[in-house]
Structure 1
Amino acid sequence: MELITDADAAAAEARLAGLALRTASVPCEWAPGELWLKPENLQPVGAFKIRGAGNALARLDPQLRSAGVITHSSGNHGQALAYAARSYGVACTVVVPEGAPRVKVAAMHGFGAETVTVAGDRRAETARELAGKHGLTLVPPFDHRDVIAGQATVGTEIAADLPGVETVLVPVGGGGLAAGVATAIGARCPRARVVGVEPELAADAKQSLQRGRLTPWPDELTRRTMADGVRVGPSQLTFAHLKARLDGIVTVGEEEIFAAVGALARRAHLVAEPSGAVAAAAHLAGRGPGGRTVAVVSGGNVDADLLARAVTAAG
């Protein structure tokens, strides 16, 4: 299976100029050890997903692109594809799972997307069916080389800002972000360790790496975590990248994720959704390898009630 290269990441970086924000690595004097945060919650769609969606759409044949695009997403990738599609003036449809966060679905509509709601285990199948029926191009949330290359630009920016970085902590759901970051950091900062972070209640990627083969967890298990953006597991493509380039995966509990959401809001003044807080949670809980560490805050599209509770608890 062909993996992306650092050259793919560099090309994606050039394509994304003007669409995705170049986020700075922010030092955290309040945190234990040496910690910087990579605030992808500041992207125009509130998450890193704009990078992968934007690169994939830019690479798409103009004729295919003009016919419209479709994806399946619990929220952030759907918003990102809708945002990028709007910039090209093309239609976008997002298949969302039942129970998807209302704030994310509302944002998709705000960017002009049409949504179709189905059971969580049918979203990928439904997206493929609708793509064939209506002549749309499927842009998956992570199982695509152009999407992974776009996410890799998170790593190219970290390497440029902190060439002496020793550890990069990155959330793992479908694995596109971790695959891309591990590729870029491995090429540009070869002494650094890239470590994935998953919720204990959705640790399928960790188990897969331990067993040496994909071990999907059913939806009824992964939906238990509040970190909805990392409930889905890796594909064969992303798993191949993780197996070859990731230095391991650690897990965090629900209380630790919740506490990290509150700490990021109160101490770093960053709004993070639970999925976006898992990497910081690992560092704050002492699960990372240590050293000069960057934790990727992958998204900030959080339910207002959850954020209020987390901020109150952190006080």
Structure 2
Amino acid sequence: MKNKVLIKILQVMVAAVLVFSLYGCGAQKSARSETSTANQAAKSEGMMMDTATGTAVREEVARPESPNVNTDVGYNRKMIKTGELQLQTKDFKKSVEDIVAKVQSLEGYVENSNIQGSNFYNNYQNTRSASLVVRIPQKHFDAFINQSSEFGNVVYTTSNSTDITSEYVDTEIRLKSLKTRHERLLVLLEQTGSLKDLFTIEQELGQVTYEIEKLSGTLQQYDQLVDMSTINISIEEVFKIEESRPIITFGDKINDTFKESIKGLKRLLEGFVLIIVAVIPFLILIVPSAIIIIVLSKRFKKNSKVKAQRSEEDK
């Protein structure tokens, strides 16, 4: 009887292990599919997957130096220069501090900054990033853009020049005309003796003064935009730097395939261990329950035999 009981317990345990193994394999296959999909999406966006955390991070690749850009205009024009710069770096803190120090050394300033740190409660957000809006004198615009590789890997740069010479000249002409009109109204205000004319001139003088202040503010804004160029800077932290390989040889393919096989074997072993760990809590519940059921079944059969024997004796 003891052997039968042990056999039944083993059968229950094996059945439970098979069920949860199939469940674990399905979960692992699903996770592997999601990881593969994430890898493909990451590669299409020029990113890499961190196998330790499963996080998609942009891969920092050493590229040839970017060509220098010259946006200077050789004649007198009113130009508003704006630029955009995206960087990747392994030393996030140093890159941000170096950029701020460089901007200040060029007599510029940081107009706006947004820094996002890592999230300890979210494994999928373990990199830092920063967005800076800096203003630097226009004479240093090209030098700053062309030297941006000092702060990290340059993903891309853009520069735009907007010619506002016509708008600036038109505003100057209108302002000059309004100032002349303002002086004439002041002369008329001193010469008039009628209260009605005085009220009309003062009302018109107030409107002209308002327009003069408005156009003066517009010219000041133009001057600020022309004198101080605007650059939007995005900084992203990455974990790995890989040199670009323009030619992939057959040996490189063998090496990459072998590395991928090792990684696959490692993931398989990790998945097997995780399945065993996942099954243990269920076995803790199933085994005692199976033992109780078997003991109760054994007692029930024993009681049934006793009752049957008594009934035969009574006959």
- Higher RCO (Cα < 8 Å, 6 or more apart): 2
Q: Which has the larger radius of gyration?
A: 2
Q: Under a length normalisation based on structure 1, what TM-score does the superposition of the two structures give?
A: 0.18
Q: Under a length normalisation based on structure 2, what TM-score does the superposition of the two structures give?
A: 0.18
Q: More strand by proportion, 1 or 2?
A: 2
Q: More helix by proportion, 1 or 2?
A: 2
